Structures are given as structure tokens and as C-alpha cells.
Chain A
């Protein structure tokens, strides 16, 4: 896999994996915020989710609603096979590059 995905894209892919079928706009946003300790806008999450879907890394279906949402359904995202491969690939790229650092001596 040659294409490298962006950091936010990668974080959101990971969040969708963690949520395992329960990933929709807000839950993904919260998951990413929880792990990275930074706040992102809802719009950014939605845009990225759809971009990832366009790239074929995610798939989605409309799912359950709640009273809090004014009885509107949410779109639940799930990672595709291609998405999984992409994640692994970027993990590998990093691993490889870490391996190439001669020695890790912080501060020297």
C-alpha cells in the first residue's frame, strides 16, 4: 500500500476500530478526544469519516436512535478490509522507520 493517510485520519480509523460497530460522529469524536487530550470539531470528524468512506476504508449504515437525538438515526461506521490493511501498513512504515534510528539516546 503506497498511500499514506493523515494523522487525524489514522486516529479516526483507530477510534472506529475500538468502537467496533458503535462508531458514529459523536462517539468517534469523544474517543479521539479521550485518547489524544485535544478537542476537535464535530465537522472535522464528519468530513474525515466521509472522506475515509470515499476512499473505501470505512463502510456505514444507518442505525439506532435515541431520545437525546430527537429520535433521529445515527450513521454507524465500520472498518473495511481495505481500511484494516491501510492501518497495518502505516503501522509497519513507522515500525520500520523506528528500527532505522541508530540508537535512541535522548538528550545526547
Chain B
């Protein structure tokens, strides 16, 4: 038989200790036998876990039914004593339980969150062999990674590298308008979670099929797989198999798809989220470009053969870019491979599937959600901190209470209790407390989970875990560990009392161990104050980002989407809206700040000019004036000038990047009238007719980059299907939108106008200022959750302080009584009493300030525009903590100071 593991031996020791000798032999035998059985069937983890569950069940369950034995101490007896002493000190019991419950509930909720975040993409059968292929951000900072690569890489791998069992590609083709005809009735849906994938997609990913064959569903051109929910949305209860869906792209191409499969709905914890998946072979632009390396819209996933050395495989992949990419760079950019990469290595990375969701880099994902590892770290830290805080509370209150039990301990010792038995008694008590608090915490979490989910935008559930033996194993281990940890100090401290001294009343108990208790209070308040400061700064930064001058007027801009679906009708609509006095300006554009993401490679005309990446935006002549962008020099597009549709306007940063220098140093080298060359394709030349002041066309998280504004009607420039005039923006006359009703009427008016032209167009709108705000969605979410937990931490710290104050008041009532007799005034006593605690809080403030400063400084370094770290925030946080602490102690101090000295002293 194998050597028993430490955990099992520990369990055996416990059971030997607490279960009668008469039963040990058969119980241990049974446990071993069960273990062997389970080990064979369910694996080591479950077997060990269940070993413990059974052990604990036997220890706690068994003695309650078996009649008394001649042992000195029984668990049952201990429980009885714990119960009695809990009842005797109701206030302490409630404080203790409340604090612990809150702490455990917080930790549990955060634990669920962390579990959810770290268990993405775990359901694929071959998940441990799937890797995503990433490459450097070839359109910008080569040190960053991007998860989108050109289709040519896959073709090269298939030719040169046999180590992959399968390599599959998925492509986000952007929002499409779907049309389905049922009983001659056409219905339209706007679909953004519609991608196309290669025929072997389901060989790599095991998304379960409800209907259809995973191996052949995407084989034919024009076949499509949809999820069950989508099928319901489109076809109701009809069988969707073989039905037709027509997809209309923003560029106006139509593709008719046949449904060849229905998937179960995609699990929430998948980084690939789609509603419909077409077959890649349906796309003509794919067929023409399958060998290119710069058509970077493909998520590419490789499944390696079993037993592959991934590090060696990664090395092997590095041969591909120099060998194959040169054709593309030469053909498209007229640059050699080295010129294109500027000497930087075009590394291909293999990223394990399960790391994708929470990876730090690449930080984005075009096919679903991307997690934020920083948040997970922050919350895990907070969860642990809050748990530690509440455990400290528990320890603190238990030690404080020890004075009241010193006599009990003395009497027990005199009657022959051994030290060991007493230690056991206190540990059992503490474990029981934690167990009760854990059950209460489970209920609390279950009750508040839906609120938490709303704030965190998550789908956490507790109930599913309740049937999981792992979960119970963890809970049991947790109860024991926290119970032992929190109970050990009071247990050892109390059981060490000398009976003679305690019974003689020599030990003014409670005054011992003050140092440790004070230290713990300081720790608690340090954490709370640091949290308050951090929370305030997060709030301050969010407010700040909203008020930053972005260089354009983002308020009162209504934006309507999907205008490309109107075709020629868009101009009709625009003409109608322009006559409406509510709008001071109406304009068409292909992008909307703060979401101008596409960039291309350009250079200034002339010899030896550097090639640079510049973001570009397409719009008509009305858009820049509508944004109230400021021209530094030159002019806007002129509709009367036909040549203007091939001219461009750039921003200051672009002028700098292209090598014209800044406005002050232009002199005779002004960019006006100069030409910018597209450093790809036919090398089109574009003349600069104006320069605008820098404005934020992306989130204010980043500094403003170079921007090139092109006219909507420029038909020489191919934008990879992006940038068509699909948006109509309207600047509202502020005077006509005094209240929400009027605003709603205006929106409804636009909606009616759109429907008059084409009722099939999906009406979607937004406001520019809200879109800017939305770029900080994640931070807002974090801030909301942080607020919640900060409040919890403060509440827990206060509970602890309250308990200690109550205890201290009880200890010092005679001292205060005597002082009063000697003529001390009530407020003098209150001051005297409170100062004991305010000193601790003051110390906490001193410690918390530098810690919070460092944390805040680190967090703010994520942002290009930072709110200053003002001193007043620290002062405010300190004052808040101090007043909360005073308020908590205040009640006790007043009642202690107000007590009638006669009442207090008469018992002496």
C-alpha cells in the first residue's frame, strides 16, 4: 500500500483524537477502503476531498448519537459550552458573527468572481493542445502583440510546418444586415456577432452541435451555423436546418447562406462569442487574398499534435515570416521584408487557449470579451484583505473577551482540566463560530449576488457550486484554517493563565495583550484608510476624464448608425434633416470619435521620407465644422471644388510625424499644399489642404495620435471595407433640448424620417459625449465594485473598534467612576476615553498615506491624462476615517462617562 499523504494522515490524527477508541479501527479501515475505491474511479483529488468530508462528518456527526463515554472532553460537550458562552455574551457574539459573516461573504463573492475570470475556455475537449497564433503589432508599436494575423501565415504553416494537427481561421467581417423571409414576410436583423470561419473550425473547438454535422457544416461555400438562441430569434419554433439567410455587408454585397447546423448557445466563459458563423469559402475577398500577410483580420488557432514540444515549435515558426512575408511587402508596399519591419523581428507567438482571456498582452480580442488581469489581481487582493480584516476582528474580540472568561479557565484548571483540553475548547469554539458565519455568508452571498452581477456585469452563480465536492472541500478547509488561525491566539493565551492568579483576581485580564490588539486595530484602519484614498482617486480620475477638453465639442451630438443601408437614400435623409431647425449642423462620416481605429502607412512626398502609421477618418465637408474642430491653417473641403474629394486634411500630430515639424517651426516648410503618399498599392498622392488642431479621436486614455482626414467620396482609396459613410451626425441646438422629453421627441422624429425612406433599416443612435464616457466603462465598473468593498472594509473595521471600545468601557468603568468622583467633567472623560482610540486611528493615517500614494501613482500611470494627486484627498480620507472612528467609539465613551459613579463603584 502507498504511503499516505500528509492530508490523510492529518485527518486520521483528528479522527483518532475525537472519535472513541472503540470505533477507530473500523472507521479508519472503512475510510481507507473508500479511498482506494474512489482513487480508482474518480481520481486523487476527489478521493482526498471526500476522505476529509467523511472524516469531518464522522467527527461531528458520530459523537452526537453515541452515548456518553468516559472521556474527559467531548466535542458535544464543547459545543454545549460554546453555545452557553455565546449566549452569555450576546453583544460580542453578534459583533463577532456579523464581522466574520461580512468578511467571509466578501471573500466568497470575490472568490466566485476570480474563479469565473480564471476559468474561461476550459470546456474544449482538446483545449490543452489549442494555441492562438499572435504576431507583433505590425501597424504600430512592434513591441505590442496583436491577436489578428494575415491569412498567409496559415497557408505558410500548412506548407512548411507539419506539427499542427489543424490550423483554423476565424474572421470578423463587421456588422451585417441579415434578412430572412418566412411566408413571404421579410424580417431584418442587425448582427454584430456574425463571423466567418474555416471548415475545420469545429475540429479544433468543441462547441456542441444540436443539429448538423460538425465536420461538414462549414465545408460548402454559403453554409452557416447558428446558435440555438439565434435560431429561436429568426425562425421561432420552426426547424432552422436548410433555411436561408441573406447577409448584406456594409459595402452592399449580398450573400445567401443555408443553415447547416445549430449550436448550443455559446457558454459565457468563452473568449469566442458568436451568434452566427458563415463558411470562410463564401467570401470572395478571402479567395483573392489568401496568401497575403497584411490582411490582419484573422484570429488563427492551431491545434498541435499530442506530445508536441511547443517551445521548439515556436522556434520553428520564426522561419516563416522572412521566407514568405517578403512577397506581400514587396507587392503591396514596394518594400523589402527588412524595410517593412525596420529590422524588428516579425515574431510569431503561440498563446495557450486558456491564457487568452486573462492575458496582459495582447489586450484586445475581436471575437468576444477580453479580461483584465489587473482587476482580477486587485479584487483578489481586496478579498483576501477583507477576510484578514474580519479574522483579525474575530481574534481581537476573542482576546478581549478573555478577561471575562479568565475565571472560567481558572476554575476548570483547578478542577483538573489539562491545558490541551482548554486549547481544544477554544479552538472548537472558534471553528464553530467560523462555521456558523460561513453558512450565514453563503446565504448572504446568494441573496446579494444578483445585485453584484448587475454592478460587475457578470453572471456569477453560487448554487451550481453547491453540488460540487471540490467546493465543499475548499469550504471545509477554509473553515478549519480560519477557525484555527483566529482561535489559536486566544486559545494559547487563555489556557496559559495561572489559575491561582486569575482566581485571586490578580490578573487584570485584558490589559495584557493590549499591544497586539492595538497593532491589529492599526492594521485594520490602515487598510481601510488606504482603500478610502484609492477609491477617492479612482473617482477623481473618472470625473477628470469626463471634463478633459478633447479639442472638439462632444456635447449635444446625436449620431445615427447603419446609414449605408439606406444607399442613395442617405442623401435624401440628410437634406430633410438639414431643414429641421433643431439641428445646427448635419454631416456624414465613416468613423465616429472616440472610435477611429484604422490606420495605414503614409509618407511625405520626397526622397528618403520615413514611412509612418497614421489613423484615418473619412467624412464629408460638414463633419469637421460640426465637431467644431479648429483649423490652424488652410481650409475645409469645399463642395464646389471637385478636386477636393482627393485632398486631405491632417492634424498637428500628423504634421509632426510626417516630418513637417510643429507649427512654430514650419516657416517656409509649411505642410500646406504638400503631398502625402500612400505607402502601399498604387502609391496614390494626396494633397494637404488644411491642418486642424489636435483633438481626441480615440479614448482620452491615450495621447492624441496622428490623423488624416479623407473625403467620403474618395473612391481611389480602398479602406478594407471600413470607413463607408455609415454614420449621420447631428449637432443639436442646445436651446431646443431643455429636457428629456424633447430629446426623445427629436430622436423619434429622426427615426420616423429614416423609416419613411427604408423601413428595413435598423435604427440605432448614440450621443458622442456618452461614447467618450463609455471608453471608461471598465474603470467605472471597477470603481463601483471598489466603493462597495471599501464600505465593507470600513464597516468591518468599525465593528471591531466598537467591540473593543465596549470592552474597554467595561474594563475602565471603575477608573472612570473614581475620576468622576474626584471632579472630572463628563466631556473630559469622553476625551480621555476616546483618545485611546483616536491615537490608533491617527497612527493608521500616517501609515496608510504613503502606501495609498504609491498605489494611486501606479494605477494612474495607465493613463495619458492624469488627475493630480492632491493633498486634500488624503486629508479628506483621514478626516472621514477619524470621524467614523470617533462616531463608533463615541457612544461607548458617552455611556461610560455618563454612568453614575455610585452604581459603578458600589459593588467593590
Contacts and interface: CB of A to CB of B under 8 A. Distances in A.
Given A25-B26, A42-B57, A44-B57, A72 B32 contact: yes
Contacts of A26: 30, 33-34, 37
A26 to B, nearest CB: 5
B642 interface: no
A69 B66 contact: no
A1 interface: no
A42 B29 contact: no
B79 to A, nearest CB: 16
A68 B32 contact: yes
A72 B28 contact: yes
Contact of B28 (A51, A54, A66, A70): A70
A44 B62 CA distance: 8
A67 interface: yes
A26 B33 CA distance: 8
B209 interface: no
A62 B57 contact: no
B30 A69 contact: yes
Interface string B40-77: 00000000000001100110011001110000000000
Contacts of B415: none
A12 B205 CA distance: 47
A24 B26 contact: yes
A47 B30 contact: no
Contacts of B53: 41
B65 A50 contact: yes
Nearest to B62: A47
B27 interface: yes
Most chain B beta carbons < 10 A, residue from A44, A67, A69: A69
A70 B54 CA distance: 18
Interface in A17-68: 24-26, 41-44, 46-47, 50-51, 54, 62, 65-68
A74 B62 contact: no
B65 A65 contact: no
A51 B23 CA distance: 14
A82 interface: no
B715 interface: no
Contacts of A46: 23, 27, 30, 58, 62
Contact of B62 (A24, A43, A67, A72): A43
Contacts of B62: 43, 46-47, 50
A75 to B, nearest CB: 4
B65 A41 contact: no
B54 A41 contact: yes
A81 interface: no
Interface in B60-105: 61-62, 65-67
Contacts of A50: 62, 65-66
B33 A68 contact: yes
Most chain A beta carbons < 10 A, residue from B31, B33, B53, B65: B33
A68 to B, nearest CB: 5
B26 A43 contact: no
B65 A73 contact: no
A29 B32 CA distance: 15
Contact of A42 (B31, B66, B67): B31
B1 interface: yes
B742 interface: no
A65 B29 CA distance: 8
Interface in B1-50: 1, 23, 25-34, 36-37
A67 B58 CA distance: 23
Interface string B672-706: 00000000000000000000000000000000000
Contacts of A65: 29
B61 A47 contact: yes
Given A25-B26, A62-B26, A43 B58 contact: yes
A77 to B, nearest CB: 11
A24 B57 contact: no
Contacts of B30: 24-26, 42, 46, 69, 74
30 contacts: A24-B26, A24-B30, A25-B27, A25-B30, A26-B37, A41-B57, A42-B54, A43-B54, A44-B57, A44-B61, A46-B62, A47-B65, A50-B65, A50-B66, A51-B65, A62-B25, A62-B26, A68-B32, A68-B33, A68-B36, A69-B29, A69-B30, A69-B33, A70-B28, A70-B29, A72-B25, A72-B32, A73-B25, A74-B29, A75-B26
Given A25-B30, A65-B29, 12 more contacts: A26-B37, A42-B30, A42-B57, A43-B58, A44-B57, A46-B27, A69-B32, A69-B33, A70-B28, A72-B25, A73-B29, A75-B26
- Top 6 closest A-B pairs, CB basis? A43-B57, A72-B29, A69-B29, A25-B30, A75-B26, A43-B58
Interface of B: 1, 23, 25-34, 36-37, 53-54, 57-58, 61-62, 65-67
